[in-house]
Amino acid sequence: MSGSSLESRLLPATSDLESYKDAWGFIEYIEGELFEISLETLGVANKVARKAGMKVGAIILGHKIPEEILRELIYRGADYVIYADHPELEHYNPIAYTEVLYQMIERYRPWALFFMADDLGRDLGPKVAYRATTGMAADCIDFDVEDFEFKLAGKTYKNLLAQIRPAAIWIAKIFTPRHRPQISGVRPGYFKPPPRDPNRRGDIIRFDPLIPEEAKRFRVVKVEKLPEEKDPLREAELIVSLGMGITRRPGGEPDPVKAFEMAKELAEYIAKKLGVKTALGASRALIHAELKELEGKITHDMQVGQTGKAVSPKIYIAAGISGAIQHKVGMQSSENIIAINIDPNAPIFEIATHIINEDLYTAIPKIIEALKKRLGE
Ligand SMILES: Cc1cc2nc3c(=O)[nH]c(=O)nc-3n(C[C@H](O)[C@H](O)[C@H](O)COP(=O)(O)OP(=O)(O)OC[C@H]3O[C@@H](n4cnc5c(N)ncnc54)[C@H](O)[C@@H]3O)c2cc1C
């Protein structure tokens, strides 16, 4: 298909693509509460905006939003904040929220807009994308700024947002070349919000929205706060993760229960001695192996990776984990990665900050021993 005949079959492109600037993060402010998790959108926006030579905008909707919250968004990495304050925006009203965001897009023309891939973002992001006649890449785990050669159309688009996400056994890169803004969902846990800096300054811009009549069709009858679910893996500063390596042992009998107990001892010792939160994690292969002897010990909520949880602790210890891409995407943003593996070519070593090329059955007790010595026992 030639470029021009393809063009005639596609949705008309956004006009004046070049006029779209800046990367926006949508901040969730619900029932008078700022949802910290949504600050991760500012982490993403900062990453791409700095590379593309653009600014970072924080977008927030609500009613009676305190000024401290607006200023906080500047401290947390926004160059400016655009907010809409209206009684109809007090609760999450998808009709009103979609329309107001669309009006902001029309007025300010952002180049990219990021939503958290949580309950609210997954609902609102696609609605806004549809309203603005643009695309949306859901559940992304990384982003970059790249040129994209759209071979079918015979064109190269410069400086696009590369939206990166797992797709079955591949990692897909998605581009929205002909429409703006480029809208993406960001999987929680992959981006840290920028560090808080109370010396940062930026503009706080009030946007007066037109709330459509039909938004009144949506009424919040009752708001009930669910008890907060604590997730030890996401809160932990140190995670000891186990993989299928616990079922193998060069020149010896593997004992998965012993390996589990060793990992637990290490995590608990550090928690007790250093007063930090620690947790145990696991690879999907180990969880799916459903070892009888580890029933109730290795559980599904411990899975780290593409179809499990994304974690970024200060220290991630991967013991007997090969480092398949689906595991790596869930832990590679950890500050320090200590990998224990008998295979010198294990892919996990490519991203490890500390490599222990050894049998985990001997390596873990050595780490515990060394820690005890160091901590004066
Ligand atoms: C769509 C899809 C989604 C997926 N999602 C996830 C996910 O979310 N999380 C995830 O983890 N996986 C996921 N996977 C599976 C992933 O592809 C790998 O199969 C899995 O991560 C491998 O687990 P492992 O490293 O424990 O096992 P293996 O790949 O079998 O690796 C075991 C490692 O242990 C080492 N070893 C062996 N004995 C010892 C010893 N005694 N001491 C030290 N090292 C030893 C070996 O050298 C090897 O490197 C997914 C796959 C698909 C297709």
CA of 240 to the centre of ligand 1 (A): 15
Please report, for the domain that includes residue 17, its CATH number: 3.40.50.620
Q: How far is the CA of 24 from the centre of ligand 1 (A)?
A: 36
276 SS3 class: coil
- Percentage of residues in the chain having pLDDT higher than 70: 98
Of 217, 241, 264, at which residue does a domain stop? 217
- What span, in angstroms and rounded, lies between the C-alpha atoms of 238 and 313? 6
62 compared with 6, residue with greater pLDDT: 62
Question: Could you read off the pLDDT of 122-163 as tens digits, one per residue?
Answer: 999 999 999 999 999 999 999 999 999 988 888 899 999 999
Residues 144 and 269 in one domain: no
| Count of structural domains, the chain | 2
What mean pLDDT do residues 210-221 have?
92
Kind and range of the H or E run holding 185: strand 182-186
**185 and 260 part of one domain:** no
Domain span at residue 124? 9-217
Amino acid letter for position 338: I
Whether 309 and 363 share a structural domain? yes
**Bridge partner list, 195:** none
Q: Which two tokens stand for residue 281?
A: 């994690």
Q: Is the ipTM of this complex over 0.85?
A: yes
Atom of ligand 1 at shortest range from CA of 254:
41
Q: What is the DSSP annotation of 254-268?
A: --HHHHHHHHHHHHH
Ligand 1 centroid, distance to 352 Cα (angstroms): 15
pLDDT of residue 12: 86
CB of 41 shorter than 6 A to ligand 1: no
The pLDDT assigned to 10 comes to 78
Answer yes or no: do 40 and 163 share one domain.
Answer: yes
pLDDT of residue 197: 97
> Interhelix angle for 119-131 vs 94-108, to 10°?
50
Averaged over 197-203, what is the pLDDT? 97
What average pLDDT does the segment 224-241 reach?
89
- Assess whether the C-beta atom of 343 lies below 6 angstroms from ligand 1: yes
Q: What gap in Å lies between CA 329 and CA 318, rounded to an integer? A: 13
Quick one: pLDDT at residue 152? 81
Residue nearest to atom 30 of ligand 1 (CA): 244
Does residue 173 sit within a domain?
A: yes
For residue 96, the surrounding DSSP H or E stretch is helix 94-108
- CA-CA distances (angstroms) from residue 287 to 190, 284, 364? 22, 5, 20
Using pLDDT thresholds of 50, 70 and 90, give the confidence band for residue 2. low
Q: Among 170, 307, 355, which residue has the most ligand 1 atoms within 8 Å of its CB, making it the best to mutate?
A: 307
In a domain, 81, yes or no: yes
Indicate whether 52 and 201 sit together in one domain. Answer: yes
Q: How confident is the model at residue 168, as a pLDDT?
A: 74
CATH number of the CATH domain containing 272: 3.40.50.1220
